[in-house]
Amino acid sequence: MRPTSSLLAFGATLILAACGTNDKYPGAQRFAYVTNGVDPFWTIAEVGAKKAGDDLKVNVLVEMPAQGISHQKQILEDLLTRGVDGIAVSPIDHLNQTEQLDALAGKVTLITHDSDAPNSKRVAFVGMDNYDAGRMAGELVREALPQGGKVMLFVGRLEQDNARLRREGLLDAILQRERDAERRDPPESVLAGAGFEVLGTRTDQFDKSVAKANAADALTAHPDLDGMVGLFAYNAPAILEALKQAGKLGKVKVVGFDEADGTLQGIVDGRVYGTVVQNPYDYGYKSVVLLAALKRGDKSLIGKNGRLEVPARQIRRDTVEAFWADLKRKLGKQ
């Protein structure tokens, strides 16, 4: 028997009621902030997103997919049934998600953050230029190893637009090549130039135990390794664990990415040369602010390049204490 229109209306009311039950600001707009995984990096972004929600008196849902791209796709589908007004997402594999992202963009305000999907119908991107940020990390490597040397790279996955660009910028800076953000060096390639030999790039698919194993295996396979570079937040701490286990702390130069506590402590201790930080707090905060502005029809926050820029910074031993203190303040830890 087909349900009557009154029953359908009643069911829709129940769904809407269930969606709004936990709203902090009943009746206000609802925006979703979707990450590309689970990590302390995203916990910082969550604090920023929710602070923006409180400042603007709008509801913010933060979703962190723990099982990769299929989980992220399901989260995005579910958000539509929850009645969100806008979504900020960091796509895991933008080339294989364009169709879904375009469908979402036809129903809600859609922006990307951290990692872009430039060929999709998203309205804007919130974040840094990952190619230039990679070059900044490459500069740190050259400072740490002024005579050059053998280097291994570590990253979660290269399907993400941010990871690919970050790696290519890093390689171009280390090897002193011409700028080329479209370059796609195979991860297994051994690349040499300007006194350096990059022995390859090892991926872990966002599995921290694999990240540590990759670092340990690299140390075993290349006992003469001079430098190790981690391109995701958890990579540098995993590298430090492997170095400690191998008795090589301080003997191999380490450069990281992002502001994991282990990385920052490593800089304080002199075991990490430096890191490039993205400011995930602002990723979260500014994504929510931008979604709210776009719902008002205000596009003034978007630059001519379709971005709301959140510049990257290099953190070394002389700046780490002040940076870490400011981060703790934002997170309410001081």
Hey, which residues does 197 pair with through a beta bridge? Answer: 150, 192
SS (H, E, C) 179-213: CCCCCCCCCCCCEEECCEEEEEEEECCCCHHHHHH
Average pLDDT, the chain: 92
In the sheet that 313-315 helps form, which strands lie side by side, from edge to edge?
191-193, 196-203, 149-155, 227-230, 253-257, 274-277, 313-315
Q: Alpha-carbon torsion 241, 243, 247, 253, what sign?
A: negative
Closest CA to 210 of 184, 191, 232, 187: 232
Q: Helix, strand or coil for residue 149? A: strand
Q: Provide the 10 A C-beta neighbour count for residue 59.
A: 23
- Mean pLDDT across the stretch 137-155? 98
Reported as a pLDDT band with limits 50, 70 and 90, residue 134 is: very high
- What confidence score (pLDDT) does residue 330 get? 86
Reported as a pLDDT band with limits 50, 70 and 90, residue 21 is: low
Q: In this structure, are strands 196-203 and 191-193 parallel, antiparallel, or unpaired? A: antiparallel
- C-alpha distances (whole Å) from 27 to each of 23, 83, 332 are 8, 12, 28
pTM: 0.83
Q: In this structure, are strands 274-277 and 313-315 parallel, antiparallel, or unpaired? A: antiparallel
* In contact, 311 and 133? CB cutoff 8 Å: no
